[in-house]
Chains A and B, each alone.
Chain A
Amino acid sequence: MLYFSKLRIFSVIIFTLILSYFTISNFFKIDDNFFSKNIKLGLDLQGGSYLLLEIDNKPVITQKLQNKVMELKNFFKDKNIITRNYTVDDNSIIFDTTPDKSDELNNILDDDESEINQYYQQYKSHEFDFVKDQDSFKLTLSKYGLVLLKNASLDQAIEIVRRRVDEVGTNEPNILKRGNDRILVELPGLDNPGRIKSLLGKTANLTFQFITQNTEESFGTEKLDFEDGSENAIVSKRIILSGDNLVDAKPSMNSQTNETVVSFTLDRVGAKKFGKATSTGVGKRLAIILDGKIISAPSVREPIIGGSGQISGNFTFQSATDLALLLRSGALPAPLNIIEERTVGPDLGQDSIDAGIMSLIIGFILVVLFMIYKYRVFGVIANLALISNLFLLVGVLTLFEATLTLPGIAGIILTVGMAVDANVLIFERIKEEIKSERNPIIAFDSGYTKSRTTILDANITTLIAAVILFFMGSGPIKGFSITLGVGILTTLFSVYFIARLFTAFYVIKNKEKESLI
């Protein structure tokens, strides 16, 4: 165990130097791409905001079911099958047919090749499960149908969230999918997420609908409140124009009224629709509706055919800017709820870094002094291994651009405390061996050999804990498991290659000495 080939010595040195280089590179700015890797600081250290959003898919599912109802109605009408009494609830469609056609209808719904089951041809499974009860049918979204629907709406929502966050212009935001109905948004450096939250909390469904003369709600109309809560109005359900037709929106000043407004530009289809509706509706009030609330309802004085217009509604410059931003980035497919928020101010982050580094330095010094006190020369060797262990550990974290969190720093300090264990096991074993073996080289050799299984056993148990923590833990805790786990690997390397190398040099040089250890 004490013999090292020249090649091995060389590789150990090179390996250690490369990783140490990455460690040191954290403290300097290097321009080259490959060599300018840095440990990323977690939000708890650099300050910032962590938001977990959950998408509320109910409206998407309802929309899907309503579309399906239309599809079924038309499809069976073409096939001369009478269907009636359609009802839609939270997750299913129920309808009846006539007794003579119910078996035929059953077969059509069951048929993989049927046009009504287009989904099957693409995904080899049914989008809807159905139950037949005499002449009544109940269709429910199948597991796969639901997953596909949720994924599609999540993908769309992520895209919109990204656009909105980008428009606000925060520093390197991180937007990730979590499961099939959640989005994680990390906003480094942001200490008050209020504005982002209010932007992400809005679906931003914009529609233009005419206000009717009726005073009561009736078929085809709905009663909506004004945004400021002052009054309400009955509007027609017919949508003249929706936010989808907008190509641009920006805040501006109306020079006549001296009001802040949001001016928008429509695409060609939108401009045509808008022109037609406003020319037939001169004199009527056109309600501008955002997420079910009327922002304003100006009267149409003349046809608007240019494809652009203005939205007024008691805006401040800030609220106009935000509305324009929402309209530019598009509507979310479904509302998002913020179910978890963690925000750390930048000065607390810096305090945490300072405290972490302080306790690392003090813990390190204490351990180093203790080892020298206990083992003298071999304490120095163990300490050299400990220092290189730190360099290796930070180097590996840098190389993989891992995220360092406050618990992660705790993991590094803990590694400092536990890393000496392997060397202690070896040294204690050597002490025992030397009692019965006169030749120090053989004693050292068997000390290393006999302690090996114990060291492996002992480290694997901690490694198991770290791996489980990595897979089960979230955020900062993941950071802890990474440093703990990588720390074990670098510890083993530093003990078996670096400390052993120094030990070998020392023992071979001083083999004539009495009481080596």
Chain B
Amino acid sequence: MREISFNKFYKSFNILSIVLIIASLILLALKGLNYGVDFKGGTLIELRTDLNSANIKKIRDSFSQLNLGDVSVKNFGNDTDFIIKFEKQNSNDPKFIDNIKTKLSGSIGTVDFRRVENVGPKVSAELLQSGVIAIALSLAAMLLYIWIRFEWQFSLGAIVALFHDVIITLGVFSLFSLEINLSIVAAVLTIVGYSMNDTVVIFDRVRENLRKFSDIKIFELTNISINQTLSRTIITSATTLLALLSIFIFGGEILKGFSLAMILGVIFGTYSSIYIANPILVVLKVSQRTIVKEDKD
């Protein structure tokens, strides 16, 4: 198989990545994330109406008459299903949901509440906190693992790639105002695992080649290693993406956000293993000496 010169594009893709990261950070700082009820608190109702008896406008109007504050209404999957979200939550009042339902039936006919989520402010703050802790912990655990298994130059490369993937994925979520809920946290953690996994495979090969060839410069060596592992990289990303696409298309509305985040994460993860993690080894001038020192220890 002919060798592809990935290393020719290190610079241009690095610039692209830096631009994307800065753009994502600006988005996250200015626009922020669209938190769902899990993290913001409030009420979510998934309802199904009779065929053709309601549209978004009608539902929005009926809800705005209920004095619930800011209400967001969205179509969910098909024409009869809607997701309604508002900040007011009163899970202590046992009649709260029933009252909404009764009033709605009056204005738009029979409605079926398929899902109701009611999260108080205390719980949502805790969920957000534990989500952030979980992501921070997993990054720390990855750092620790790779620090034990590799030399520090490799660890740095892998961690930078990891942050790159997480930040850009969140940036995309901010750009399109996609909802951040508990399952997105799970997706981000899985992305962390996947991105690391992908980087480690190439790094293992880089290290092996460093031992084998003393006369090849790291710039070339990373390219050789990327090429040697390329078909694995492609096949694994492909099968993972096939599985994820299947969830995205056929897995129902609830898993849409989760599978989208994972799809983005797999694409960025694969890209960053090649174009973030490896150039860092080049920048840090990794050579046979780097690992020989380690082997002696």
What residues make up the interface of A, taking CB atoms closer than 8 Å to B? 44, 51-52, 54, 192-195, 197-198, 201, 337-345, 347-348, 351-352, 355-356, 358-360, 362-363, 366-367, 370-371, 374, 406-407, 409-410, 413-414, 416-418, 420-421, 424-425, 428, 432, 453-454, 457-466, 468-469, 472-477, 480-481, 484
Q: B37-95: which have CB < 8 Å to A?
A: 46, 91-92, 94-95
Q: For the complex, is B284 an interface residue (Cβ under 8 Å from A)?
A: no
Q: Mark B100-126, 1 if CB is under 8 A from A, else 0.
A: 000000000000111111111011000
Contact for B118 among A340, A371, A463, CB less than 8 A: A340
List the B residue with the shortest CB-CB distance to A431.
B231
The reply to whether B242 and A356 form a contact with Cβ atoms under 8 Å apart is no
Complex contact B204–A454 (CB within 8 A): yes
Write out the residue numbers on chain A whose beta carbons fall within 8 Å of the beta carbon of B138: 464-465, 468-469
Task: List, in ascending order, chain B residues with CB within 8 A of A460's CB.
Answer: 145
Q: Which B residues are CB-close (under 8 A) to A358?
A: 250-251
Interface of A is mostly: helix
Please, which residues of chain A bring their CB within 8 A of the CB of B241? 417
Secondary structure type dominating chain B contacts: helix
Is B4 part of the binding interface, using a Cβ–Cβ cutoff of 8 Å?
no
Not counting A343-B115, A407-B258, A477-B185, a sample of 8 additional A-B residue pairs whose C-beta atoms are within 8 angstroms of each other reads A342-B117, A348-B115, A410-B255, A413-B244, A425-B232, A428-B232, A457-B197, A473-B182
Q: Are A416 and B114 in contact, CB atoms less than 8 angstroms apart?
A: no
Report the contact-size class of chain B (Cβ under 8 Å from the partner). 35 or more
For A465, the chain B residues whose CB sits under 8 A away are 138, 142, 189-190, 192-193
Binding site for A on B (CB under 8 A): 46, 91-92, 94-95, 97-98, 112-120, 122-123, 127, 130-131, 133-134, 137-138, 141-142, 145-146, 149, 182-183, 185-186, 189-190, 192-194, 196-198, 200-201, 204-205, 228-229, 231-232, 235-236, 238-247, 249-252, 254-255, 258-259, 262
Contact pick for B231, options A428, A457, A458, A466, CB 8 Å: A428
Complex Cα gap A466–B192 (Å):
10
With contacts A52-B123, A462-B193 taken as known, whether A367 is within 8 angstroms of B243 at the C-beta atoms is yes
CB distance from A161 to the nearest CB of B (A): 15
B123 adjacent to A339 (CB under 8 Å): yes
Q: Which residues of A contact B228 (CB under 8 A)?
A: 432
**Residues from chain B with Cβ under 8 Å of A345 in the complex:** 112-115
| Of A201, A352, A477, the contact of B94 (CB 8 Å cutoff) | A201
Neighbouring B residues of A466 by C-beta, 8 Å: 193
Q: Which residues of A contact B231 (CB under 8 A)?
A: 428
Q: Is the CB of B246 within 8 A of A359?
A: yes
Closest to B133 in A: A472
